[in-house]
Amino acid sequence: MQQPNVKERVILGIDPGTAVMGYGLVKETGPKVELVSLGIIKLDHLDDHALKLQRIFEKTIALIDEYHPDCMALEAPFYGKNIQVMLKLGRAQGVAMAAALSRNLPITEYAPRKIKQSITGNGNATKEQVAAMLQTLLNFKETPQFLDATDGLAVAVCHAFQKISVKGSASIGGGGKKSKAGGWAAFVKDNTERVSGAVKKK
């Protein structure tokens, strides 16, 4: 039975893209974080960039209306050699932000390196390593068709970790114990076997 003073929060994580947009939702109940949903929105079949942006807006609105998240976290576009790609990713992110703002959702943005650091403890981790760690942290076995889905989920978990770090405890998937350390450090300390198992799978 849930304690009356324990607050629940649903976080929507978005990995903006113009070919595939990944998303993930987690429910935070006190220090406990659970998987709600994850998936992708395919856009590569659309030739017109404006249509892709429209679809991102509509799908983001649909996710918000279906799951009623309390906030949204997004992955910031990283600087690359191709400025046109950077521009398109920025537009995709802006449209997703606009959808959240239209529903009065608070928005937080995280750099890719920050997200990887929060999930795996390594800012240079690969997409596969992030996905494997998320499966361990959130106790799910299903392998998404695209890594973009786990990228979106990683943003949501990263956002949850920030709050957990401030409060000083972490319990991912209900398996962790409270600790004076925060976020990732607390989880590693209390779940050595689970973490080492995920590392071996990489």
Using CA atoms, how far apart are residues 146 and 155, in angstroms rounded to an integer?
A: 16
Q: Is 8 a catalytic residue?
A: no
In this structure, the dihedral spanned by the alpha carbons of residues 112, 114, 115 and 118, taken in order and rounded to 10 degrees, is 160
| Cα–Cα distance for residue pair 177/175, rounded to 1 Å | 7
Strand 71-75 versus strand 107-110 pairing type: parallel
190 included as an active-site residue = no
Tell me, yes or no, if 75 is annotated catalytic.
Answer: yes
Q: Which of 15, 28, 34, 151 is catalytic?
A: 15
Active-site residue (options: 28, 34, 75, 151) = 75
Distance CA 39, CA 21 (A): 9
Please list, in sequence order, all residues whose beta carbon lies within 8 angstroms of the beta carbon of residue 82, skipping any fewer than 6 positions away.
none
> Exactly one of 34, 148, 151, 190 is catalytic; which is it?
148
Question: Which residues are 72's β-sheet partners?
Answer: 12, 107
Residues designated catalytic = 15, 75, 148
